[in-house]
Amino acid sequence: MYCSRMTRAGLSMAVALMVGAVPALAQDAALGQPAAVSDPDEPITVSPSDDRSRDGAGFEADIGSTSLAAPSVEAAGLTGAGALGLDAGMWGTTPGARAIALVEAVEPTRLHSMNRLVRRVLVAGATPPDGSDGLLASRAQALIRFGAAEEAASLTGAAGRDPGPMLRRTRAEAALIVGREETLCERDVLGADAPPVAAGDTDRFWSSLRAYCLARTGEPLAAVAVNAMVELGSVAPTDAPLLEALIDDSLIDYVPVPHASMLTPLRIAMLRSLGRANRPAIESAPLPMIAGLFALESTGADGALIAAERLESVGAIETQVLREMYVSFADAVDGDLAKRAQAVRAAQQAPAVQGIGQALLEAAGSDEPGRFAQMSRVLAPMAARTPLSQATDGGTQSYAMRDAMLLGGRVEAAGAWSQAQGPRSPEETADIAAVMAVADADWAARWQRPYGDALRLRTQTGDEHARRTLGALAGLGVALRPDLPNEGYLAAAREGRAAETVLAVAAELGTAFPPSARTLDTMIRAFDAIGLREEARKIAIEAMIVARWR
């Protein structure tokens, strides 16, 4: 359990921030979007004119009518595409089968900014492609894979009371992860909306869920029914002891937590009902299950913080949540977790290059992929508040500070820090100018040809960082720009298939990391063609910096 009342309050605050009223107006904030935007899907009411008898017609004339096609379930979203910086026609001419295949294949990448963009595509309400039956369910399943079960639960709710089998299953799994099993059991499992079980169906999900819902009632006859289902094999063997403990709470302390690899949405719900969890499960559990473990009452400060790190790394929760949890739990955790938390707390109290820079370098030396980028996002606000007079004090730490500001979106502060770093060699000058030109359009306007020449000299010795930088600059039109074949996602972008472009880029960045110079060049041109130039800058600079600090 938690070590103090303050710690408990901190976790409650973090959980509230993570799984608050996402489906309502808070959805835009949860996705990192401005809250004060008009929803293009909001109906507009127009009052009738006072001049109702113009030309003597008034309301006496015949009124014509046309039938309106029923809105497609696949077009549903948590907010309009326009509010998310996308377009209602973002699927363009992408075939339905292609759209579903891309959504089903998408997985979290190592780039936080890329993951955030994918989630925007997944939650956006937009005109679906032809032949895309099942797209909504596939989008919800993808959100679950990204650790965003709350958004998945809200998205599946857009299907109303009569969803198809796949969407119903996805809705149930999302509800189990986020803790909405009470409504699920009453309506979709034990109530009139319960799905029929087909003859010969070997999938025990619904029967196991029925057993769980019965066990939760606490009624004597429920125990008889559940025991019968266990004996008949309607319940998976791993679920049987958990169900028995739900019926007889004296067994709770004797029921082992299933191995992390065996965790499912239903087992997450059972553990929640039993109040059971442990740190190893949170460290090694599949990402889709982390949101459920995070919210368990029995999850201690260390487990909750580890869960928050994993969720933030893929963009499933805001970085601010992780930052506040580090500060709140700094004295309640141990080991490397405590070192990170205490470094964040110290930086918040008194930002200085020695403390922040040292924490960043330790993160860069970690064996955990993405640790430097995550600590950079967390520490970026404090790095930006560090006095510029310290820019010349830290050497390598000072460069880490600048890169942390860039990864945390403090581009203007990063530019000021770079200018304050003092005298440097021509090679260093070119490198700083190149990085800043990718991150900031104002710096791109100051680009000089000698900078590009200096980078090209480095490529002759096999410097991949220089190659990636030149590739990104080429994509932005700053450096020399070779012709690229009009194929793949570049062709899709030029034809207006924005959603396909984003998902295809995510697939490439997920399989080949760090990206090549050619990939960065092509990605930037493709995103530029669909109006996502600033997103392309963020993804490119993150890829460049993460590769540099590997």
Residue 263 lies in a domain: no
User: Of 128, 145, 179, which residue is a domain's last?
Assistant: 179
The two tokens of residue 63 are 């009124």
- At 57 the pLDDT is 41
Cα(189)–Cα(199) distance, integer angstroms: 18
Q: Identify the H or E element spanning 176.
A: helix 165-178
Q: How far is C-alpha 390 from the chain's CA centre?
A: 35
Instruction: Count other Cβ atoms within 10 Å, centred on residue 235.
Output: 23
For the record, the structure tokens of 364 come out as 């860069």
Has residue 397 been placed in a domain? no
Contact between 31 and 123 (Cβ < 8 Å): yes
Instruction: Give φ, ψ of 79 to 5 degrees.
Output: -160, 160
Sign of CA dihedral 138, 181, 212, 214: negative
Domain extent at residue 155: 20-24+77-179
Instruction: Name the strand (E) or helix (H) holding 125.
Output: strand 124-125
Give pLDDT, residue 296.
64
Quickly list DSSP for 136-166: HHHHHHHHHHTT-HHHHHHHHGGGTT---HH
Helix (H, G, I), strand (E, B) or coil at 406: helix
What is the three-class DSSP state of 80?
A: strand
The pLDDT tens digits of the residues spanning 97-127 come to: 999 999 999 999 999 999 999 999 999 999 9
CB 339 within 8 A of CB 316: no
Helix (H, G, I), strand (E, B) or coil at 100: helix
pLDDT attached to residue 350? 95
pLDDT at 35: 35
Among 127, 157, 179, the domain boundary falls at 179
CA distance 118 to 111: 11
Please report whether residue 245 resides in a domain. Answer: no
Tokens of 132: 């895309």
523 contacts 544 by C-beta, under 8 angstroms: no
Three-state DSSP class for residue 234: coil
pLDDT in the model for residue 219? 80
CB-based contact 136:74 (threshold 8 Å): yes
How far is 355 from 177, CA to CA, in rounded Å? 38
pLDDT < 50 stretches in the chain:
1-70, 192
Domain-embedded: residue 163: yes
Please state, in angstroms and rounded to a whole number, the distance separating the CA atoms of residues 239 and 528: 50
Query: What type of residue is 410?
Result: R
Q: State the DSSP code for 424.
A: -
d(CA 480, CA 474): 6
Does residue 416 lie in a domain region? no
Give the domain-ending residue among 161, 179, 197: 179
Q: What is the pTM of this model?
A: 0.84
- Whether residue 151 lies inside any domain: the answer is yes
Q: How far from 312 is each of 112, 307, 377, 501, CA to CA, in Å?
A: 8, 9, 10, 24
Backbone angles phi, psi at 124, to 5 degrees: -75, 135
74 phi and psi angles, rounded to 5 deg: -65, -15
The per-type count for the chain, helices as H runs and strands as E runs, is: 29, 2
HSE, side-chain direction, 13 A CA sphere, residue 443: 23
Task: Kindly give the residue spans of alpha helices, DSSP state H, lying in 232-295.
Answer: 239-247, 265-274, 279-284, 287-294
Q: Are 427 and 454 in contact (CB under 8 A)?
A: yes
Quickly count: other Cβ atoms within 10 Å of residue 538's Cβ: 23
User: CA–CA separation, 101 vs 111, rounded Å?
Assistant: 22
CA atoms within 13 A on the CB side of 396: 8
pLDDT of 237 reads 85
| Cis status of the peptide bond prior to 195, with omega within 30 of 0 | no
First to last CA, the chain: 36
Q: Does 155 reside within a domain?
A: yes
Residue 4 forms part of a structural domain: no
Q: Would you say the C-alpha torsion 193, 199, 205, 208 has a positive or negative sign?
A: positive
Query: HSE (CB half, 13 Å, CA atoms) of 6?
Result: 9
How far apart are alpha carbons 352 and 365 in whole angstroms? 20
Q: Residue 220: how many CB atoms within 10 A of its CB?
A: 8
- Phi, psi angle pair for 80, to nearest 5°: -65, 145
Which residue has 């976790």 as its token pair? 11
- What's the CA dihedral at 183, 189, 192, 195 to 10 degrees? 130
Question: Which DSSP category does 24 fall into?
Answer: T
Number of domains making up the chain: 2
